[in-house]
């Protein structure tokens, strides 16, 4: 489930709530409207349906923000392009709401990708030495996962590694599409086309797992959506 709240903003827009869940990706806010209401600047907030039931885009021009929401298989993904000053303004009032987007995963929730890769290799060697057993159709080895991800993501960047990790841990090929569409959203939203690919980002984080600062605008891309996700904007 995904909930996005646009708070009432001066004489520009009324408060609007967008809600989506699996197999229900509406092209309107919760009250049925498609813009910011009856105020003077209502059209500075609007929803556009790109692909019915699969892809919508919300433009909040009064705060320079674009949000892309997709359904990929059984999952919801979203990408947000937002000016840094807006992100900081929200963070000042609610430091918890944007923790994941701004600082990355807490240390106690990180999974060592190299450990999983090593376990896969050990399991593969044991299988070759032991009796031949058919693998489940959803099971991926590191080699088959990388080959599958290269079908959509030829550059071995963060999106590619995310794809490989998700295939190894879930066996669900929809995550390959989620990573692919996340990168497509980056290409559409990022202002600097020379910085589309990210490499080993989590290894370069500062103490406390803080995300790099100083980038304008800030771009968030969700490759894996939690069971419930809330985004509250000015």
pLDDT value at residue 93: 55
DSSP string, 68-131: EEEEETTEEEEEEEE-HHHHHHHHHH-TTTTHHHHH-S-GGG---HHHHHHHHHHHHHHHHHS-
Sketch the domain layout of the chain as residue ranges: 13-105, 111-195
Q: Model pTM?
A: 0.67
What are the angstrom distances between the C-alpha of 170 and each of 18, 94, 195, 223?
29, 32, 29, 14
Domain 13-105 has CATH 3.40.50.1010: no
- Phi and psi at residue 115, to the nearest 5°: -65, -45
- The C-alpha torsion from 56 through 61 and 65 to 66, rounded to 10°, is 20
- Sign, CA dihedral 84-87-93-97, equals negative
Whether the CB-CB separation of 167 and 148 falls below 8 Å is answered with yes
pLDDT value at residue 113: 63
pLDDT value at residue 126: 59
Task: Indicate whether 103 pLDDT > 50.
Answer: yes
The residue with greater pLDDT, 103 or 77, is: 77
Could you read off the pLDDT of 137-149 as tens digits, one per residue?
A: 458 888 999 999 9
Report the chain's C-alpha Rg in angstroms: 20
Whether the CB-CB separation of 70 and 181 falls below 8 Å is answered with yes
């Amino acid at each position: 489930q995904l909930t996005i709240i646009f708070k009432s903003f001066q004489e520009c827009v009324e408060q609007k709530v967008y809600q989506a869940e699996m197999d229900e990706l509406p092209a309107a806010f919760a009250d049925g409207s498609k813009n910011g209401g009856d105020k003077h600047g209502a059209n500075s907030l609007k929803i556009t349906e790109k692909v019915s039931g699969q892809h919508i885009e919300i433009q909040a021009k009064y705060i320079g923000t674009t949000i892309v929401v997709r359904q990929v298989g059984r999952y919801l993904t979203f990408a947000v392009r937002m000016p840094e000053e807006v992100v900081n303004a929200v963070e000042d009032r609610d430091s918890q709401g944007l923790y994941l987007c701004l600082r990355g995963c807490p240390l106690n929730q990180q999974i060592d990708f190299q450990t999983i890769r090593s376990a896969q290799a050990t399991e593969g060697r044991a299988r070759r030495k032991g009796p031949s057993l058919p693998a489940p159709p959803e099971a991926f080895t590191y080699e088959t996962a990388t080959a599958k991800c290269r079908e959509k993501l030829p550059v071995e960047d963060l999106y590619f590694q995310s794809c490989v990790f998700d295939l190894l841990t879930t066996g669900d090929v929809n995550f390959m599409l989620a990573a692919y569409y996340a990168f497509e959203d980056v290409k559409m939203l990022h202002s600097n086309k020379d910085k589309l690919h990210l490499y080993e980002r989590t290894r370069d984080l500062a103490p406390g797992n803080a995300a790099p600062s100083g980038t304008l605008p800030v771009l968030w891309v969700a490759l894996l959506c939690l069971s419930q996700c809330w985004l509250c904007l000015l």
